[in-house]
Structure 1
């Protein structure tokens, strides 16, 4: 989507705030002994209350309202009977639509104390996203996003999952530009003013690719390694990025 009028930006900010509030409320509600289905039910209730529609459910018939991925699951985890435990690393990804506008956000949350290595991975994963977002500006190359993230990851000894990309969003969950690398690349396309996209690097301690599980949805790192993901929906302008997936 390309924003051309203020009312479009307002509509995007509305759904952006809804998905952000939903994700953070789910994270706050997490506790050991809860199933991922129970956590997803909280997300469903919050989206329903806000008049929003789950994007993965409506667009792709995903068997859940939100994607909840635990530990070895790095993305697209199906909510179900899995019981959360203290020390788990839980990724919550919430995307939804309202009045024809779509927004997408996600983050990895620690459920209680985790190892120092995982704690640092979470901090650096969020920083990697912020570094990518800083490269979102009208007339800049799309490649700047992945190249900046790649430089940060390489300097700190991390790897990046190279088949899970950022994407355009706004009037659909996935739209032009269909794939935006969050790893070093030579994409020759440029960011135009008003472009709506996600920035969502998958930072890892050794994983390079995502493999799909037998359920047809859940993804795991190959090679097996801890992975975190942090994601915002942003709008490119001549003055830099506007983040629309902020709670409020």
Structure 2
């Protein structure tokens, strides 16, 4: 999907590419399976943070595209997301993409057995604030396995209620979802798409990981998949 991102391509065309890859691998869209999402992948543009519905919108130069793919295969699920610039984007958009990826990397330093879920959020929010951006507090990571959203909830901020200790073998997603503006979010009229309330751009970066005593295992990394 990422390789086919360019001005003029529609989000429906990208979704069809992703759906074919899933089916060729004997897998299927988890959001469609679990929630009856009207598409195979969530494809969001610019101020749309997550859960954008694929359609006939054509990508334009300067767009900020979020590809969020959750797959089911053999009864298990995995989730990953990336923000892709369409052509040449603004300096702010470039910084936003880089910040989301750095925040994920910072979270990996504490996504280890013995730390708490809140440590992940603290690491993410500290990095995001350092760059002058905001986390979207209504959105975050989660446990994943037999279904998409399992315990624990993994906030992108230091939530004092996120006290669960990370244990070996726990499978979660870590996904900084950040915005150039306030970080407040609203639900669009389509009932699916979550967008920033002030319509400022957003970025999303996510992997599914396994907690270990040391460096977490990133299940959705390209090197793990051999691609």
TM-score range, shorter chain: over 0.9
TM-score, normalised to structure 1's length? Answer: 0.87
What corresponds to 1:8 in structure 2? none
1:41 deviation in Å? 0.5
Residue 139 (1) aligns with residue 114 (2) = yes
Structure 1, residues 164-215: CA drift from partner, whole Å, max 9, x if none?
A: 01100022111111x2111122122111111000000112211322211111
1:223 deviation in Å? 2.8
Alignment of 1:87-166 (within 5 A): 87-166=62-141
Between Structure 1 and Structure 2, how many residues are aligned? 222
If asked which structure has higher relative contact order (CA below 8 Å, sep 6+), I would say 1
The answer to whether the 8 Å contact 2:79/2:173 transfers is yes
In structure 2, stretches of 5+ residues that fail to align are none
In structure 1, stretches of 5+ residues that fail to align are 1-25
1:156 deviation in Å? 2.0
Higher alpha-carbon deviation: 151-160 or 114-123: 151-160
1:232 deviation in Å? 0.4
Once residues 207 and 100 of structure 1 are traced to their aligned partners in structure 2, the CA distance between those partners, rounded to angstroms, is: 38
TM-score, normalised to structure 2's length? Answer: 0.95
Which 4+ residue blocks in structure 1 deviate beyond 6 angstroms? none
The answer to whether the 8 Å contact 1:138/1:240 transfers is no
The answer to whether the 8 Å contact 1:194/1:235 transfers is yes
What corresponds to 1:7 in structure 2? none
2:159 aligns with one of 185, 204, 229: 185
Structure 1, residues 145-172: CA drift from partner, whole Å, max 9, x if none?
A: 0111111122221111000011000221
The answer to whether the 8 Å contact 2:46/2:200 transfers is no
Structure 1, residues 59-106: CA drift from partner, whole Å, max 9, x if none?
A: 000000000001121110000111111111100000011111110000
What corresponds to 1:9 in structure 2? none
